[in-house]
């Protein structure tokens, strides 16, 4: 089954391909599908933003589309950066901004979670949502070479997401949790 990812983010594409290809899904980017657009994320929730991106590509291609909106929510920052995670600071400085804002926050108040909401629009044009979360805490420094975004400061168990091998991260991440729910939905509709 072919599914278009409403994104050109190479890291997301790789992660989603890695997770769905064992189940026989061919995931292609929106650029590969000929949808050369950049949907403006004007929603106030992860769900709304995921649907905006999915709908923009679906309206061009009329093929099943998957889009996600994801981000980091930090309890001590009242849920920030949340839906603004990708725009919280200029590229390369997002982790540093969080670390700076958290510098005086004690260990027991550094809780955070990654949230991912997938919007799937099928052949029927209906939107369906799948939410995944992964709880952890904000570390005190960037650690690790794997991953992207906030992975070097997000501590899951004792290691940051950037210290986990991709196979391990792909089993426990917010995106993995949302995709697992999506996979269950797809299996229920194809069996």
Closest CA to 118 of 45, 189, 51: 51
Euclidean distance between CA atoms 71 and 141, whole angstroms: 19
Catalytic residue among 18, 36, 59, 69: 69
How confident is the model at residue 124, as a pLDDT?
92
Distances (CA, A) of 2 to 28, 53, 140: 8, 18, 42
Class of domain 2-190: alpha beta
* Domains of the chain by residue range: 2-190
Tell me the two tokens of residue 92.
């390369």
104 carries an active-site annotation: no
Per-residue pLDDT tens digits of the chain, which is 191 residues long: 889 999 988 888 887 888 778 878 899 999 999 998 889 899 999 999 999 999 999 999 999 999 999 999 999 999 999 999 989 999 889 999 999 999 999 999 999 999 999 999 998 999 999 999 999 999 999 999 987 899 999 999 999 999 999 889 988 999 889 988 998 887 776 54
Report the sign of the C-alpha dihedral through residues 108, 91, 173, 47, in that order: positive
Euclidean distance between CA atoms 32 and 42, whole angstroms: 25
How confident is the model at residue 191, as a pLDDT?
43
Tell me the two tokens of residue 154.
């997000």
């Amino acid at each position: 089954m072919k599914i278009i990812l409403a994104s050109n983010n190479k890291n997301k594409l790789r992660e989603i391909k890695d997770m769905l290809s064992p189940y026989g899904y061919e995931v292609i980017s929106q650029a590969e599908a000929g949808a050369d657009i950049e949907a403006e994320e004007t929603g106030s929730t992860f769900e709304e933003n995921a649907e905006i991106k999915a709908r923009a590509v679906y309206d061009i291609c009329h093929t099943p589309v998957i889009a996600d909106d994801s981000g980091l929510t930090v309890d001590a920052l009242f849920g920030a950066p949340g839906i603004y995670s990708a725009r919280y600071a200029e590229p390369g400085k997002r982790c540093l901004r969080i670390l700076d804002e958290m510098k005086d926050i004690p260990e027991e108040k550094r809780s955070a979670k990654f949230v991912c909401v997938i919007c799937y629009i099928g052949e029927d044009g209906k939107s369906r949502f799948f939410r995944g979360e992964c709880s952890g805490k904000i570390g005190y420094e960037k650690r690790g070479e794997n991953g992207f975004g906030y992975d070097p400061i997000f501590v899951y168990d004792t290691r940051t997401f950037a210290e986990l091998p991709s196979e391990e991260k792909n089993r426990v991440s917010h995106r993995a949790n949302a995709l697992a729910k999506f996979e269950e939905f797809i299996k229920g509709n194809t069996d």
